Structure 1
Amino acid sequence: MDFQAFVDNIETMTCVISVEMKEDGNYGDIRLVAGNKAYVQSIEAAWDGPQLMSNKFVPNSIYQNYFPKDLNFETVCYRAAVEKHPVHTYVHPERFDFWFDLYLIPLKSEGNMHYCTYTQVVTQKADTKKMANLSQDTASAVLNTCIKLSNTSDFDHTIQEVVKDIREICGAFICCILSVNPIDRTCRVLAEASSEEGQGLTMQSILDEDPNFYENVAEQWEDTIGGSNCLILKNRSDMEYLKERNPVWYESMTTHRVESIVLFPMKFGEELLGYIWATNFDTQKTDQIKETMELTTFFVASSVASVQLIRRLKILSSVDMLTGVLNRNEMNERIERIVSGEDYLRNLGIVFADINGLKRVNDEQGHFAGDRLLKHAAELLRDVFKRCDVYRAGGDEFMIIIPDTGDKELEQFCSELKSKELGFGPVGFATGYSCVNDSQDIRKAMHTADERMYLDKAAFYEKHPELKR
């Protein structure tokens, strides 16, 4: 067939692609055999944005001359050219600023060479109608996810249900939603589900085995995906691609007998929130899995971003930004819950702690030094009062709520705290404590502890009059 004459009769950007099949059953080179005028112009025309690796179209060139190896591209070409299935897909590869509406039609094979047409319509903005043009099974799965996420009051429980659904759709051993934090370079499992066959391998177990998993493996995932919108490894041949691009991850996966992987980035706008991944999935359902995951990931990422924002706002409203302990607003709300009986405790202890000598540090060394002193004091308080709530009541005054305690234990806590070195000369803690059997008497305990702290402070300044504020 005269492929050039064939594509020249098509106005939309179109080329003919060849897929070589080897005797061992694997495919070899995938080439751009011929392109019509519109397709050649899309490669050779100068334009703003990410550039192709070559801007000169040469007939019968391997596709890697123009963009990096892309397993998703190879998969659709193989399905159309070799398996003779017409393919339609709507994608946004990360390497481009465009959405691609792709149509691949099988052509007649010649010996070990198999052919298909590759037609693309390119737009800068997403067409939501095309995004929603899903099969009945996929639409049902995505709708189910949306309903669960939009009607939940318990996000952690719901996201666990969602990941179970995704695992079942994929027919996978393991499915996991993993958040990543590029700032502190950590990964965290948001939800995970496994089949009976996959019980031996979990993402949490991998993170436990490798505390540096982010920098050793996850940080390279974007490069491993290679500018596409996902990574799908179906067999040993595909896993060789992983061996080349991310050898540490390849070694980990093969050690755990992983033979296939689906990996989708979770993005909200330009922010990478994490990944959804599945291992040892049903490779016969690859097309359905890709279609389902592409849209499901969009909704999951949106929900995760909303929850993370709410939690950040909660932290901002409840945590003292200088010291990292709970702030006065959170302290007042906790006291109200205790007084109302909503948060009822027995044998409730209260400790007040104040820093003697902070004013002199501020006056002589500056407020930056004073801030360092306050931060160090908060660290010591958290160290002494482990598993207790520490609040910055204001200035250099802290309050600690200790449940299920007594006077003797409180005295030991205060003695330990006062023995700590703050590291700014003759400064230290003034403390006062009190205990009540009924937590609804918390204000009485606070008043007594506060009075005792000021008596302790007065004794300190009698001993060190030069530090008196």
Structure 2
Amino acid sequence: MKNLQNFIEQFKTMACILSVEKRNDGKAGNICIEIANKQYIEFLEKLNGNGKSSFETKFEPGSNYERFMPKALDFERCCHECAIEQKPVQAFIQPEQSNIHISMILLPLGIEDPNKAYCTLSQETSEESESSEESMLSAEMSKNVLKTCVKLRGATNLQKTMDEVIEDIRKICGANYCCVLLTNFNEHTYSVFSDSIKANSNHRSVRDYITEDFVDYAKTWLHLLAGNSCLIIKNKEDLETIEQNFPNWHRSLTNANIESLVLLPLEYNNVILGFIWVSNFDVSNTLNIKETLELTTFFVASEIANYQLVGRLEYLSNMDLLTNVQNRNSMNNRVSQFMNGKVQYKSLAVIFADLNGLKPVNDKYGHDAGDELLKKASSALKLTFSKSEIYRAGGDEFLVIILDQPKEDIEAKVQKLRENSENTDNVSFSLGFYYNENGGNIRTAMHEADVRMYEDKKQFYLRHPEKRKKL
């Protein structure tokens, strides 16, 4: 060991000799740091900004690596592949809860030992991911990543383009299945944005397995990833590790006939947008697949973030956030579509609904109470006209547009609202209803409905003069 210590001290970078326990069952055994040079020991024992040891322990030769860092399947896989399988390995990792990026080179050592296999580890660290790392990708990887980037950047229909990209990724990985899963942990929502299944593989879409507790499974993935760029399951041993720590998810994987899996978070500006899932892939090409996917995922996450932002802006520009119906801007755009002949219809119904008594509520109880009344009003309209277009045309005025529905059905709904409005304890509307069985002009329909609404409002206040000033 003395000679090995002298050997490892010759490294100018942080370096150590790792041992991997040999096991008859083919599983990876304990991984220990047998010998380390001064630079590597200083790295393990370095102080953080609070003056406390980052790993809260001093280095001792022969220590299990988990004394110094959280358990990491990717790291263990690299060590096993190098020491046991005697293959040189290059990899990049980021320890949990750290902004340090580690570039590692592992080389196998031919030390005769019936119980352990050995390899050297040399590494460099940086606080930012080095662009040189990306330049080390093979020409084939670079071509694949560039192909993805060009497709996504030139997309006019992101959904269609993403379907093509996910198909490409599945083929690159030699996988039976690949998909993009979107999650919103704050709102506890999820969706499958795109997926691809290999023909004749008998593999099913993850859509068939999604249940109400899917978001809880996704949170499990965050624990498994633990700050790493991806999670790789490539054999029964890895699956057994999942079973020990997350039995419910293991059961789900087993039921879906998952034998191998690559799972990468889609992260943009430190927000998890979702995940890329690749299952039953070519495990003989694991490291190349890992590096290709890590870089590709960056572009996928960026495009999805832009897509969601555009969708959110479109929502904000067209929805009234208080009442959750479409706003006046959306109404004007819709009327323009009617006028330009972009809307085809046989019959047209327009209803103006003006909320009665809003001003007295605002004056007596404040605008918060008035806002609640507006919310109740929109809810009543959505409940009554559930399959219709509803807009907030102004402060207390709503517009409903109904196409190709029988006049009798609409009249019955309008009459029900009128009857409810006579009870001053209910949400009360003044209503103007216009119907043209031949379609007709939208502006004419809106004008006629507006005139009838004001007449109805006049009659309402004649019957309920108290509603003008107080409840």
TM-score (norm 2): 0.94
Provide the secondary structure at the position in 2 that maps to 1:103: strand
Match of 2:340, as an amino acid?
Answer: S
2:456 corresponds to 1:451? no
Change (3 A) 1:427 1:190: closer
- Which secondary structure state, in structure 2, belongs to the residue aligned with residue 394 of structure 1? coil
**Offset at residue 368 of structure 1 (A):** 0.9
Deviation at 1:185, TM superposition (A): 0.9
Instruction: Give the corresponding residue for 2:65.
Output: 63
Q: 2:84 maps to what in 1?
A: 82
Change (3 A) 1:318 1:23: same
Cα separation, 1, equivalents of 2:120 and 2:423: 74
For 2:43, give the aligned amino acid.
Answer: S
Which digits, 9 at most, give the CA deviation of each residue in 1:183-223, with x for residues without a partner?
2111111111112455553221222xx212112x1122111
Superposition pairs for residues 4-403 of structure 1, below 5 Å? 4-48=5-49, 52-110=54-112, 111-196=114-199, 199=202, 201-207=204-210, 210-215=211-216, 217-403=217-403
Cα distance in structure 2, aligned partners of 1:418 and 1:94:
62
Change (3 A) 1:120 1:230: same
| Greater mean alpha carbon deviation, residues 76-85 or residues 57-66 | 76-85
CA 1:426 to 1:413, structure 2 compared with 1: closer, same or farther past 3 Å? closer
Distance 2:264 2:424 in 1: 51
TM-fit CA distance, 1:451: 1.1
SS of the residue corresponding to residue 344 of structure 1 reads: coil
Report the identity percentage. Answer: 39
Q: Unaligned stretches of 5+ in structure 1?
A: none
Structure 2 CA distance for partners of 1:254 and 1:97, relative to 1, 3 Å:
same
Label 1:358 to 1:51 Cα distance change in 2 as closer, same or farther (>3 A): farther
After superposition, the Cα gap between the structure-2 partners of 1:220 and 1:424, relative to the gap in structure 1 and judged at 3 Å, is farther
Answer yes or no: is the 8 Å Cα contact 2:181–2:276 preserved in 1.
yes
What does residue 4 of structure 2 align with? 3
Shift of 1:114: 1.1
- Residues 377, 427 of structure 2: 8 Å contact kept: no
One-letter amino acid of the structure 2 residue matched with residue 150 of structure 1: R
Deviation at residue 354 of structure 1 after TM alignment: 1.3
Q: Is contact 2:376–2:427 with CA below 8 Å preserved after alignment?
A: no
**Structure-1-length-normalised TM-score:** 0.94
Cα distance, 1:386 vs structure 2: 1.8
How far does residue 406 in structure 1 lie from its aligned partner after superposition? Answer: 4.2
- In the alignment, the residues of structure 1 paired with residue 423 and residue 244 of structure 2 have an alpha-carbon distance, to the nearest angstrom, of 52
AA aligned opposite 1:10: F
> What amino acid maps onto 1:92 in structure 2?
Q
Structure 1 residues 442 and 406, CA gap change in structure 2 (3 angstroms): farther
CA contact (8 A) 2:57 2:67 kept: no
CA distance in structure 2 between the partners assigned to 1:43 and 1:423 by the alignment: 75
CA contact (8 A) 2:176 2:203 kept: no
Tell me: CA distance 1:351–1:132, structure 2 relative to 1, closer, same or farther (3 Å): farther
SS at match of 1:147: helix
**Corresponding residue SS for 2:17:** strand
Distance 1:119 1:373 in 2: 67
* Cα distance change, pair 386–107 in 1 and its aligned pair in 2 (3 A): same
Within 1, Cα distance between the matches of 2:145 and 2:437? Answer: 53
CA contact (8 A) 2:418 2:430 kept: yes
Cα deviations across residues 314-365 of structure 1 (Å, max 9, x unaligned)? 1111111111111101100110111011233331221111111222222222
Shift of 1:171: 2.0
Alignment check: 8 A CA contact 1:361 1:424 kept = no
In the TM superposition, residue 143 of structure 1 has moved relative to its aligned partner by 1.1
Letter paired with 1:160: D
Q: Which SS does the other structure have where 1:106 is aligned?
A: strand
Residues 368 and 101 from structure 1, CA distance in 2 versus in 1: closer, same or farther, beyond 3 angstroms?
same
- Which residue type is aligned with residue 176 of structure 2? F
Give the 3-state SS of the residue equivalent to 1:14 in structure 2.
strand
Per-residue CA deviation, residues 130-168 of structure 1 (Å, 9 max, x unaligned), is 223211221121111111101110011111111111111
CA apart distance, 1:119: 0.8
What SS does the aligned partner of 2:110 have? strand
Deviation of residue 109 (structure 1)?
A: 3.4
1:205-256 deviation per Cα after TM superposition (whole angstroms, max 9, x unaligned): 222xx212112x1122111123322110111110111113322211111122
Deviation track 1:279-318 (CA, whole Å, cap 9, x = no partner) reads 2222112112101110011110011111111111111111
Amino acid at match of 2:398: F
Gaps of 5+ in 2: none
* C-alpha separation in 2, matches of 1:130 and 1:58: 31
Distance between the aligned counterparts of 2:53 and 2:325, measured in 1?
49
Cα distance in structure 2, aligned partners of 1:155 and 1:131: 25
Q: Secondary structure at the match of 2:220?
A: helix
Alpha carbons of structure 1 residues 423 and 245: separation in structure 2 relative to 1, 3 Å: farther
Alpha-carbon shift at residue 405 of structure 1 (Å): 2.6
Q: More displaced, 96-105 or 423-432?
A: 423-432
User: Which stretch shifts more, 193-202 or 276-285?
Assistant: 193-202
- Bigger drift between 165-174 and 26-35 goes to 165-174
Q: 1:19 touches 1:28 (CA, 8 Å); kept in 2? A: yes
Cα gap change, 1:256 to 1:426, in 2 (>3 Å):
closer
Task: Identify if the C-alpha distance between structure 1 residues 163 and 11 changes in structure 2 by more than 3 Å, giving closer, same or farther.
Answer: same
Change (3 A) 1:401 1:213: same
> In the aligned structure 2, how far is the partner of 1:98 from the partner of 1:275?
23
1:62 positional shift: 0.8
Q: Which residue identity lines up with residue 41 of structure 1 in the other structure? A: E
